[in-house]
């Protein structure tokens, strides 16, 4: 009954760096007939770019429906909102250019504005080049930080609380979140606090419950140092910061375990016993995640008032425009966004 009552969600898809594989994986993912049964897709980007890649991919019979706003979207078509004047646009697959960075920003800006205004229900972001997108308007380490800044939950004083957002990598086999995301390794230690770890655990647990339907999630927490500090011999962060935060939440009834030594935890398959894993820093969590789930992994920004997902890979300039990119992660990112939107609607309906 719910499937009948709930309309298909409007899902915005940003084109990312158009000289990377973003346009290719978007077109390939949307060529799947199941997609239009799940959602009404709206690509934010450039018609000229997509026509170019459509020709490269031999998808020339596929119709793109140009619209000016989401309320014009055709539910039986893939829709496109042009985000800049592309008349003199140069498309150079495999090259990092300032124009591609600017295009990626303009597409993201337009989609974020429509998301903020409730005109679309989720955004799926194709990969950007974190260097060429930088400008006076975009000064973030990546999409996660951009969305955390613009859509973070606000406290009673209407102040944003970006620490309560979470870079959450999800797949059918493993889910991994990180306490510190796009941060230089030398700054990780100073950034770790009990308050931040607590906020990330809360964001992870709430997302597992509300977005993935796991009512009593089991969460594993990793240590920071080799062998989780070896009881202070190899570092004190586990005993002084991580363990007290974990224990305090366990005392409140949460199913938390750790801190675990990261190498042994993943090496022995310990992740299989838990609904999710909280890593202390980017590579500690993302290296094992991508080894285990690179093809169908999805990057989800949990803890926000909106839904944002992306594939778990980058621009892959080396294969751009060669019809070699695998669209599975992009397809899963769109499906995941649809599922989370649906689940959140059902929660609201049930109240």
User: What is the pTM (predicted TM-score) of this model?
Assistant: 0.92
- Give me the CATH topology for the region 162-302: Isopropylmalate Dehydrogenase (3.40.718)
User: What is the per-residue pLDDT across 174-221, written as a single tens digit (0 to 9) for each?
Assistant: 999 999 988 899 999 999 999 999 999 999 999 999 999 999 999 999
Average pLDDT of 138-156? 83
Cα dihedral sign for 172, 342, 114, 160? negative
Which of 37-41, 65-69, 107-111, 234-238 bottoms out in mean pLDDT, i.e. has the lowest? 234-238
- At residue 348 the predicted structure's pLDDT band, cuts being 50, 70 and 90, is confident
Residues of the chain with CATH 3.40.718.10: 1-152+304-351, 162-302
- Give me the CATH topology for the region 1-152+304-351: Isopropylmalate Dehydrogenase (3.40.718)
Average pLDDT for the chain: 92
Average pLDDT of 158-186? 85
pLDDT at 154 over 60: no
167 within 8 A of 128, measured Cβ to Cβ:
no
Burial of 36 by CB count in 10 Å (0-12 exposed, 13-18 middle, 19+ buried)?
Answer: middle
Q: Which residues contact 286 (CB under 8 A, 6 or more apart)?
A: 169, 176, 178, 279, 312
Residues above pLDDT 90, as percent of the chain? 82
Residues above pLDDT 70, as percent of the chain? 95
Three-state SS at 49: helix
- At residue 261 the predicted structure's pLDDT band, cuts being 50, 70 and 90, is very high
pLDDT at 136 over 70: yes
Report the run of H or E that residue 55 belongs to, with start and end.
helix 47-56
User: What is the per-residue pLDDT across 326-344, written as a single tens digit (0 to 9) for each?
Assistant: 999 999 999 999 999 999 9
């Amino acid at each position: 009954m719910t499937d009948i009552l709930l309309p298909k969600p409007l899902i915005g898809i940003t084109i990312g760096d158009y000289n990377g594989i973003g346009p290719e994986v978007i077109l390939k993912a949307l060529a799947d007939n199941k997609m239009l049964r799940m959602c009404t897709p709206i690509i934010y980007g450039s018609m000229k770019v997509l026509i170019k890649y459509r020709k490269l991919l031999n998808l020339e019979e596929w119709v793109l429906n140009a619209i000016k706003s989401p309320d014009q979207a055709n539910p039986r078509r893939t829709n496109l909102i042009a985000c800049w004047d592309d008349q003199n646009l140069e498309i150079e697959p495999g090259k990092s250019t300032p124009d591609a960075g600017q295009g990626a920003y303009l597409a993201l800006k337009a989609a974020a504005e429509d998301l903020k205004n409730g005109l679309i229900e989720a955004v799926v972001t194709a990969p950007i080049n974190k260097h060429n997108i930088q400008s006076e308007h975009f000064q973030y380490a990546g999409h996660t930080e951009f969305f955390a800044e613009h859509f973070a939950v606000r406290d009673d004083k209407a102040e944003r609380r970006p620490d309560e957002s979470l870079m959450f990598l999800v797949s059918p086999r493993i889910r991994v979140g990180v306490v510190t995301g796009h941060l230089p390794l030398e700054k990780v230690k100073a950034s770790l606090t009990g308050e931040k770890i607590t906020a990330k655990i809360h964001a992870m647990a709430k997302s597992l419950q509300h977005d993935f339907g796991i009512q009593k999630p089991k969460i594993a927490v990793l240590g920071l140092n080799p062998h989780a500090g070896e009881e202070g011999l190899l570092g004190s962060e586990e005993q002084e910061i991580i363990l007290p935060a974990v224990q305090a939440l366990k005392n409140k009834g949460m199913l938390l375990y750790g801190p675990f030594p990261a190498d042994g935890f993943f090496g022995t398959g310990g992740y299989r016993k838990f609904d999710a894993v909280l890593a202390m820093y980017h590579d500690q969590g993302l290296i094992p995640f991508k080894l285990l789930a690179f093809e169908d992994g999805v990057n989800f920004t949990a803890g926000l008032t909106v839904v944002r997902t992306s594939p778990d890979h980058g621009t892959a300039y080396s294969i751009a425009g060669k019809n070699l990119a695998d669209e599975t992660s992009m397809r899963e990112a769109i499906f995941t966004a649809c599922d989370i939107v649906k689940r959140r609607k059902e929660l609201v309906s049930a109240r």
